[in-house]
Structure formats: C-alpha cells, structure tokens
Amino acid sequence: MSITQSRPALALSVLALFIGALFSAAASAQVFDAKSLTLDNGLQVVVVENDRAPVVTQLLMYKAGAMDEAPGKTGAAHVLEHMMFKGTREVAPGEFSALVAKNGGRDNAFTGHDYTGYFQSVAADRLELVMRLEADRMRNLVLDQAQFETERQVVVEERNQRIETEPGAILREQMAPALYMNHPYSRPIIGWRHELEALELQDLSAFYNTFYAPNNAVLVISGDVEFAQVRELAMKYYGPIAPSEIAPRPAWAEPPHLTERTIVLEDERVREPSWTLRRIAPSYGNDGPSEEVYALQVLMDIVGGGPTSRLYRALVIEQGIAVSAGGWYSESNRGPGSIGVWAQPAEGVSVDEVEAAARAVLEEVAAEGVAEDEVRRAVRRLQDSAATARDSLMGPAQVIARGLTIGLSLEEIEAWPERIGAVTPAAVDAAASAHLGPGPAVTTRLLPQGGEGAAAARSAPADAPPSQPVDTVEEPS
C-alpha cells in the first residue's frame, strides 16, 4: 500500500475525498474548464477559476517522489519535504508557514511514490504572497546540517507511529516487495528505518538539485482568480527560475508474475482476521488512457464498490460469512497499477472459507461477465461520486496536478466523463476475463497472535482497504 506521508501540520480533509479515485472527480465533460500555459522554463501552469468564495489554493507538485530515490536512500524524498519548511536565503526557518498563518491561510505538503506536493490555501488577495514564497524555495532552499538531523529524527518517529505500531501497516510494507518484484513501489515512502538513520544531508541536496526545477513541476491555482492574473504572477515569480537538465528516468517494468505469494502476519494487537488479494494491473502512467483502464474502473466498482457490489452481496448478505468485503483499483500511478479485493470473516468463519468464496465471485465474473444494467449503474455511480467537484478548491487542484504528473494531458483529464461513459459491457467482460480469473496473486492474512482462534472482540480489519484504490491513499496530517 502506497501511503503518502506528510509533515505534521494542518490537516486538509478534502485531500482524502479526492485522492482516492483520481478520475472520479468529474461528472460532466470539461467539469473544471481549466486554462493552461507553459512558461519558457518548462513550468506548466493550470488555472481553475471558481468565484464561489474569495479564497484560492496554490498547489505545486514536483514529478518526483519516493520511486525516484537512489538505491539505499529510502526516505530521502520525505525528509526533503520536511526540510522545505526550514528556510531559504530570504525566509527564516519556520517563517514560511508563519507568514501563511499570519495572513489567515493554511499550508501543508505530502510525499508519494510518484510526486511531492506543496500547497497553501489563502484569501484571494494573498495569492501573490504564497506564489512568491513557493517560487523562492524551488531554488533557494538552505539545507542546514543541524536542521537535517532534527527532521530526520522526526521522520524516524513518524515511522514508529505510522508503521511500527500498526500491524496492518507492517503487513502492507512486507507485502509490497511481493507485489512489486522489480519496481521501486516495493520500497516504503517513509523509508526503511536503517536507511533513514543512515541518510546524509548530501542525499537530500542531490535529490533537490536534480528534481526541484520548473521543468519538472506542475503549478495549479484554483479559486477566486482570473487566468490573466495568474499568468502575470507566474511569469513574475516562477518565470526567472532556470530549468534543469533531468536525465530520463529508469523504465521500470515488472517481470511476469508466475507464482502465488501469501504473506501472513500474526500480531497480538490484531483483534480479528482479515484477508486481501492483489494483482498488478494497467495504469494511466504505464498504459495511458486506454479502453482497458476505463473498463477496469467500471469493473471494480461492480465487483467491490460498496454494499451493492458482487462481493458484498455474495459474502455478507447472501452467505453471511463476512462482516464486510470490497475491492479497489489503483490506476493513477506513473508505474504499474493494481487491483484487489478484501474481506473480513464473520465470527466463527475461517479465512480459508472467506477466501474461497471471494475467489469464486471473481472467477464467476471472469467466466460469465457482467450485465448491461450493472455497467450502466456503475458508470452513473462513478460520474455522480464527485458531482460537486468544483465546489472544492483543493479537489480540482489535486486531481489536475496528479493527472499531469503521471503523464496525462489536461484534455485527457477533462475528458474523463465522456470516456468512462463510453465503457461497454463487452469491454468490462474483456477486462474481467483478463484480470479476475484464476492466476497468480499476492494474498495477505492478518491474524491475531496464535491464529484465527485467538480473535476476541470484533472491530474493523486493520488491513482491509477501503473501496477506493489502496495504492493512492493520502494521509495529510
């Protein structure tokens, strides 16, 4: 599971709403009506005009994240994100956030495998301030040894809290190298402890100097602004920054997955069993906006998207062997995507029984396909899921920035409603046949210490993913 880490600062709950399904943020064609320009230095600037409130959000997203770290340097991208708040030649340590707060705004940042993002939400008349501040730290960051040692330890403590005290997080971290045998998605965003502790300031400097450049970033401004105003400010503050020469990234590709892999964790902190199954799948970054990607979105909504899904109806309602079940599709990646399903056994039911029933549902869909009415309802649910997307400032900015970061064009992002609406039952059946039938998969079992029989109180499963894509969950804090 790819959990995006963030510096301990202001939470922005709308991130969690929109990050789950990148292209579920559009309910009609041209929903954002975004305008775009590219500066001479390569920075793409996108503006979403929204005058519902006199506020504005700036999101600068770099096309570099944990997957771009040098071997043995896990955690460098995330520690650098922390260091971006520790001052430039013009702005003292901590002054960035203090100035934003003093002007009634809020700011934060997040690191993923594919990208690193920095955002501020302020009154519309304070836009120039945050654009000046953000442009300044794109090139003028001061990397101080003492500050680095402090922030590295902060991230080590984050790891303690987010990973090492959470059985589900431990299991997902152990699962990732089985699912991604060659791709750097196998490495934790927050970093392995031993590599975090061995990081040096020069590792962060190398990452910063390589990737933090206008020609490796996307700037999205969303809110009560006009395109001409943003264009003028972008040229004033970002325009003078020189681009960098960025070497082509490694063309990471997964080898054929030929074996079944099962990861089991027993832990005394687990209160009840849970089970998941994952497989590599196409993604926008690897495969582009292909018919199969859109069909898989519809398919996984039918199979695992909530209480009307095939899995929930079969395991929970009809057979009564699970208390919850669902599925997801993670398609919004630079690298390979994944599909998966999960289930939480009912009391007295074995994980073996639940797994067999879940696999039977998948194989039935793969063999027999889906009904036209199921496709129609799934498409409608996907399009309706974010009918109020433009009412948010961060939502459109996040959707657009992530889409551009993984290689889509603005036109392809805006065209999502039409393309998801064009998915046919035949395309969904083909996707089901290719991805849900018998074949190698990575399964996990999270069990109480001593096995399934040790479960006592019943609670939500620690490793059960939500119905949205697991690999793209954001956790701003």
Residue type, 104: G
End-to-end CA distance of the chain: 18
Distance set, CA 125 to CA 95, 121, 128, 370, 472 (Å): 20, 11, 7, 52, 33
Q: Which residues pair with 37 in a beta bridge?
A: 45
Cα 471 to Cα 65: distance, rounded to the nearest angstrom:
14
Coarse DSSP helix, strand, coil percentages of the chain, rounded to the nearest 5 percent: 45, 20, 40
Asked if 169 and 461 count as a contact pair (C-beta separation under 8 A), the reply is no
DSSP 463: T
CA nearest to 315, candidates 464, 473, 472, 468: 464
| Sequence-ordered alpha helix ranges (H) in 84-166 | 95-102, 127-139, 145-159
134 flagged as catalytic: no
Contacts with 343 (C-beta within 8 Å, 6 or more apart), sequence order: 274, 275, 311, 315, 322, 324, 325, 354, 355, 357, 358, 464
Contacts with 54 (C-beta within 8 Å, 6 or more apart), sequence order: 123, 124, 125, 224
Report the run of H or E that residue 223 belongs to, with start and end. strand 217-223
Cα 58 to Cα 471: distance, rounded to the nearest angstrom:
25
Catalytic entry in 81, 134, 292, 414: 81
Which residues are designated catalytic?
Answer: 81
